[in-house]
Amino acid sequence: MWDVEIRGMASAHAIIAASIFMATVMPAVLVEKFSVYGTHLIWLYSVAGSVAVVNIAVFWLLGISPPTKKNTLSYKLSKLIRSCVYLLLSCLFFHTVIVLYGAPLLESALETFSLAVLLSTFTTLRCLCVLGPNVQAWIRVFSRDGAMSVWDTSLQITTGCSIVGAWLGAFPIPLDWDRPWQVWPVSCSLGATVGFLTGLLAAPLWIRWHRKQLTYKLK
Amino acid sequence: MRRLPILALLLWICSIFYVGIYLFVGGFLLVRLEVNRTSTCADVLPPGADVARGDFCLKEPRFRRAVVLIIDALKSDFARYDPENTSPRAFENKLPVLDEMASSRPSQSRLYTFRADPPTTTMQRIKGFTTGSLPTFIDVGNNFASSAVLEDNLVHQLGQAGKRVVFMGDDTWVSLFPRKFHRSLPFPSFNVKDLHTVDNGILQNIFPTMEGDDWDVLIAHFLGVDHCGHRFGPDHPAMAEKLTQMDGVIRSVINRLQNDTLLVVMGDHGMTDTGDHGGESLKETDAALFLYSGSPLFPAPSSQVEPEVVPQTDLVPTLALLLGVPIPYSSVGQVLLPLFPHNNSRAAPTGLSQAEALWINVKQVNRFLETYSSMAKDIPADSLSHLQSRFTQLSSQYLSSVSKGAPPSPELVASMQAYLSSVRETCRASWARFSPVKMAAGLLVMGLACVVCYVLSELSLVVLQEGVLKMPVVSGLVVGGAVAAGQIFMWGFVEVLWCVGVVALITEVMVLWRVRRLSLWLSLLPPPLLILLLRCSSLLSDSYVISEGRVVTFLLFTLVLYVPLRLNWDGLLVPGPPPDTQKPPGLLPPSLPLSTVRREGAALLVSVGVLVGCLYLSLSFHSCREEQGSCQPSAFLTPLSRVQDSRMRNLHYVLSLVSLSAWAFLLHRWLRHYGNLNCTSVTVFTARFLLPLASICMGLHWAVSATPEDSFRNLAELISLAQVALPRVAFGLLGLGLLLLWLDPLTVFLKTRAPLNSRAPSMPPPRYRASTGISPQAELHHLIPQLYQRIRRSLEDGGSEGAEADGRPAVEAYGLGTVYSAPLILLCGMLGLGLLLLHPEGMALSFLLMLLQAAAVLHLHTSSSTLSSLQSHSNVFSVPWAPVVLWSLAASQFFHATGHLPTFPSIQWGAAFVGFPQGHSGTVLPATLVTLNTFASHILFAVGCPLLLFWPLVCEVRGTRAGRSGGGDDGEDVVMEMRLRENPQQFSSALLQLTLRYLFICGAQVFASVCAAAILRRHLMVWKVFAPKLMFEASGFIVSSVFLLVGVALVMRVDVAVAGLFQKLLPQNSR
Ligand SMILES: [Zn+2]
Ligand SMILES: [Zn+2]
């Protein structure tokens, strides 16, 4: 049973990682003079979009979402709307946090918000897919004994890695190297992406390594 | 409580840190050796030259007299004149005379850019352009303590040659050259706010002196421009006025100039856009140099390639040779060639030709190099021998061409110039030199001190019980004495540095050895220390040091977010799910009541919010380094008197006043809330009256100092009186408050209501009778909580109306629960007010933020420790790393958020004039005031550090600590800080641990900046970034540690007083 779940997760993660790769390569065909630094926002939104789409598709196909009590259309619709609102709120939340961390308040607000969108895609969107629009469940997941399935554990790992990656990405900004990737928010979004990829890779490995210690409560 | 061991241990740790800093700085910031030899006329004779050709001192010099006008901070921009510029700024086109002369009389005058060597402070510059040598870094600190120049210098040489040197102006000269002037008219220079005293004093005397005949060299040092820059900045109408005045002065001097007189107009340094100086940016180093003479001065008007920029050292040999005196011994300058006639044209009647002047110069420089290299070994041997061989070559070429009678070739002149330049460059390169052994020793001592500090803080309880200090110190002293004896035996003298270093090292090693035998495992690196590690490694990069304020805020913010995330990870932040039915109930961990978790969680989130808000707002109070190109310094840093828009000024004033009163009000409110303002002790008097009174004085002082000078002419005297009196009164009140606080730190109000014998039966009997057979000490320990709880209980009963008559307590003690923290908070409050007074008015907002942030950190710590109280197994009072790291990083954060920067030009010298607008006579007081101003946040956070220990007790809620302290059924009571008296052993160890942790964090930062300076000592930025950072970090550590000890000492003082109080009380009440 373990092996099946881990293998499923590994392949899902591989698909997501491949989508990031594709999102980096594909626009080069369509957009002129495309480069990760030069046309950073295009890259960022293409990554965010593809990760979002692939995530939703994968989780929908695998059927990993919280059990619903009602199956009516209106209930599903309200859930969808709530999810969208949560996503928007999380973008605003990340934007605020980034500004508080020292990003410029007014100038390059678009860049800051794009970074917030990217971070939300890497973190909040996955939370929504796995846990549904349920903040209490989110808070519960991010505690030591809160994970209830391998997907929860993978959520912990990828979210943590993305945020730490973005945090580490801020480090080179003050350095006087004058590189193109030191421009706001290139290093942070690259850091977040690299962190996310690391998380995708690390999660199955970590779970496999610790499968003896992991005891999930039954759903 | 064990007072003596704690103090001894802390003192010892501090002193080994000091020794480490002392050792390292001794090896890192070496002073250039001064060569105490003087040039004489005979020196310049070529060997074997016939006497008839002569001693050039006897020859008629080019100029008989010279007028040197030094306009302090005359930036090169000020001297330029651009006729196209139709709308000049305040400092542009205000000195047209220089341009007029240079263009209309090109053979008589010239204008150069005059490049000073850093540090560009006035005293270093005066030394530089009189001795011709290069300043060293260590001189920067001496700006307050001017001391006589001992090296050979121009003033001395002029005096030796019988020239009458008359001086007027900046009194720094008189202290630098005591008794060297024929006549001197010094005027006080220290008061930066005074634009006119020095200049007017000069103007009254310069023209009569010039018209008289009692002078040969006249030096006049004007300070108005510099002071105007410091006070208003260069772009201010006052600067235009000042420069126009200077223009007039130069014109009048030129009109009175005779043909045998040389006029030199120069600035000693430039200024930044804010009017400050001291660093090495081009704006600070580039001054103006204007030369003029009534007779043709420049033999070849435009035939020669003119030097664009004249180094400041070059003035010394040029002036010396033009005036016919020997070049000062240790000058490394090069004569300004355009002033000397060509070798083949004998047009100029007198004076030396270019080649002759250069030859004299080369010989003098070579001789200095020889002398210097025989005294000190810091110039690399290979470059020395290279220079030597070049000199031999030059010398033979020159002498052969002279003996042939032919004029020296232009190539020879060029190579002599090249030789002089390379000597200067060699000297510049090698006077930034280090003593690697001392540096390594300092690093070792400091590194070990950090380790010792960390280890001891982890083992504080054991350390206090066993007493680890005595043996190591004794053995260290013995070894140190042996080393000293050995030094006397070997060399005949003692180098204290090494003895002290050896003592420190031996004690450290011994302590570590002893602690090793105690062998307790150390906890692994906790995440808060990871933040500290990041902070320390950020000190190794110049970019991070330059943007240090933001880096610290970033790290703090991360740590603040870490605390709730970590609590949530541990499942402590939100109330847990209903107990798991599958697990047997015995295995369930004990958990806090749901309501407590909810309340504390909410409090935690609120304090995180406040903290984040404070962090973000504090970013707007930063000042700017010159390296930060597009940075705007905070508007609040401008003193009110410099704000020109009157509405802005009023707004700033009101904001400052509001924050000042908020500061005082919050303090008062807190003390009243915890019942510390009821008694009639002197401390309460302080809190109630002295504090508000001092605040009122400060508010008035700000108002007075903000009034524009010319608006109330008839009240001028009153205003100047108020400017002196108000801050002094405020200082006096605060000082009195501090004194009273020390004398009687208790803020406990005791009220004895009823006769004891009638009340005694109605009191509940004490739970345990400690008075039988146990020592009085133990009795005291047991009875105090009993007493306190009794007081407390009866107080609560007395709250309701019905119990009033009946349940009256025998003794009511208000404020006993905050007996330790109340004096500490009062101390912080008063210190804060005093330090605020030393800052620009706008910083009141920043100080208020500091108060709020400190409170938020304390509450964050309280809530998180309450929430995790069931998890921690160590000492009950022990303060974890996270709040201590937060606390100490906040000190660095507010160092920046009060407008300070770790650079010398950004020191707020204005602090020295608060209450002393006329300047000072001594140097100790102004230096103290400036130090207090610079390290204000370090001081406040260091003094308040013990609050981290007290706060969870102050905010104690019923039932949370009961389980932990194991107080049995009495645990229901809120005992607050009396718990500390219940467990004196744990109290002592927690206090020791807290202070050691704080010291460790400060020490680790110093160690990191020391490492940065050592590793990057050849870095381009070392003198600009790392060395100043090291100095500031080290001074900050010293100040912090001293005030940390003050805070701890106050806690101990309170402890003594409380013990005394109980001694007094107990016999009356419990028997
Ligand atoms: Zn000056
Ligand atoms: Zn100055």
DSSP string of B426-458, one letter each residue: HHHHHTS---HHHHHHHHHHHHHHHHHHHHHHH
Structural domain includes residue A200:
yes
Comparison of pLDDT for B737 and B1020, the residue scoring more: B737
Return the pLDDT at B766: 36
| CA B277–ligand 2 middle distance (angstroms) | 6
Distance separating alpha carbons of residues B648 and B640, to the nearest angstrom:
9
Å from A177 to nearest chain B CA?
9
Å from A170 to nearest chain B CA?
10
Return the pLDDT at B288: 93
Rounded alpha-carbon distances, angstroms, from residue B917 to B698, B714, B721, B810: 15, 19, 10, 56
Of A12-16, B570-574, B619-623, B651-655, where does mean pLDDT reach its minimum?
B570-574
Residue range(s) defining the domain that contains residue A56: 1-64+74-218
Average the pLDDT over B171-199 and give the result.
85
Residues of A in contact with B551 (CB under 8 A): 174
Return the pLDDT at B431: 67
Residue B67 phi/psi, 5-degree rounding, is -115, 120
Return the pLDDT at B801: 35
Of A100, A102, A174, the CB nearest to B543: A174
Return the pLDDT at B903: 86
Structural domain includes residue A69:
no
pTM (two decimals): 0.76
Distance separating alpha carbons of residues B117 and B256, to the nearest angstrom:
33
Structure tokens at B1006: 């110093």
Distance separating alpha carbons of residues B117 and B332, to the nearest angstrom:
12
Å from B71 to nearest chain A CA?
37
Comparison of pLDDT for B642 and A52, the residue scoring more: A52
Residues of A in contact with B554 (CB under 8 A): 101-102, 170
Nearest CA in chain A to B538: A171
DSSP state for residue B324 in the 8-state scheme: T
Distance separating alpha carbons of residues A193 and A214, to the nearest angstrom:
27
Residues of B in contact with A143 (CB under 8 A): 568-571
CB contact under 8 A, A143 and B569: yes
Residue A162 reports pLDDT greater than 90: yes
| CA B278–ligand 2 middle distance (angstroms) | 8
CB contact under 8 A, B619 and A143: no
Confidence of residue B793 (pLDDT cuts 50, 70, 90): low
| CA B638–ligand 2 middle distance (angstroms) | 17
Residues of B in contact with A144 (CB under 8 A): 569-571
Whether cis (ω within 30° of 0) applies to the bond prior to B208 is: no
Rounded alpha-carbon distances, angstroms, from residue B136 to B114, B139, B175, B467, B813: 19, 6, 19, 45, 61
Of A136, A145, A174, the CB nearest to B571: A145
Encode pLDDT of B597-619 as tens digits. 888 888 899 999 999 999 999 99
Distance separating alpha carbons of residues B106 and B946, to the nearest angstrom:
71
Structure tokens at B832: 């804060």
Residue B151 reports pLDDT greater than 50: yes
CB contact under 8 A, B616 and A142: no
Return the pLDDT at B142: 41
Distance separating alpha carbons of residues A115 and A188, to the nearest angstrom:
8
Of B543, B568, B573, the CB nearest to A176: B543
| CA B169–ligand 1 middle distance (angstroms) | 12
Residue B709 reports pLDDT greater than 80: no
Number of domains into which chain A is organized: 1
Structural domain includes residue A94:
yes
Taking residue B746's Cβ as centre, other Cβ atoms within 10 Å add up to 23
Comparison of pLDDT for B790 and B152, the residue scoring more: B152
Question: Is the distance from CB of B213 to CB of B164 less than 8 angstroms?
Answer: no
Encode pLDDT of B471-508 as tens digits. 888 888 888 888 888 888 887 667 777 888 888 888 88
Structure tokens at B553: 């805020």
Structure tokens at B57: 């001192």
Structure tokens at B411: 């190539």
Rounded alpha-carbon distances, angstroms, from residue B155 to B129, B188, B815: 10, 21, 68
CB contact under 8 A, A143 and B568: yes
Residues of B in contact with A218 (CB under 8 A): none
Q: Which of B770-779, B790-799, B879-888 has the highest mean pLDDT?
A: B879-888
Return the pLDDT at B471: 82
Question: Is the distance from CB of B111 to CB of B290 less than 8 angstroms?
Answer: yes
Average the pLDDT over A12-24 and give the result.
91
Q: Which of B233-237, B348-352, B574-578, B980-984 has the highest mean pLDDT?
A: B233-237
Nearest CA in chain A to B572: A143
Encode pLDDT of B268-323 as tens digits. 999 888 887 877 788 888 999 999 988 887 766 555 566 778 999 899 999 998 88
Helix (H) or strand (E) holding B41: none
Structure tokens at B900: 């300070």
Distance separating alpha carbons of residues B1052 and B1059, to the nearest angstrom:
10
Taking residue B443's Cβ as centre, other Cβ atoms within 10 Å add up to 20
Q: What is the CATH number of domain B31-291+301-339?
A: 3.40.720.10
Count CA within 13 A, CB hemisphere, residue A186.
Answer: 14
Nearest CA in chain A to B567: A143
Å from B568 to nearest chain A CA?
6
Structural domain includes residue A141:
yes
Neighbours of ion ligand 2 (CB under 5 A): B 226
CB contact under 8 A, A146 and B553: no
**Best residue of B540, B541, B569, B867 to probe chain A, by most A CBs closer than 10 Å:** B569
Structural domain includes residue A152:
yes
Nearest CA in chain B to A141: B569
CB contact under 8 A, B616 and A100: yes
Comparison of pLDDT for B468 and B915, the residue scoring more: B915
| CA B413–ligand 1 middle distance (angstroms) | 34
**Best residue of A93, A98, A99, A100 to probe chain B, by most B CBs closer than 10 Å:** A100
Question: At CB < 8 Å, which residues of chain A contact B?
Answer: 99-102, 136, 139-140, 142-146, 167, 170, 174-176
Of A99, A146, A174, the CB nearest to B547: A174
Residues of A in contact with B544 (CB under 8 A): 174-175
Residue B559 reports pLDDT greater than 90: yes
Structural domain includes residue A207:
yes
- The chain-wide mean pLDDT, for chain B, equals 81
Of A100, A142, A175, the CB nearest to B543: A175
**DSSP 3-state of B71:** strand
Return the pLDDT at B140: 40
CB contact under 8 A, A144 and B570: yes
Return the pLDDT at A175: 85
Return the pLDDT at B972: 42
Taking residue A3's Cβ as centre, other Cβ atoms within 10 Å add up to 9
CB contact under 8 A, B558 and A167: yes
Residue B218 reports pLDDT greater than 90: yes
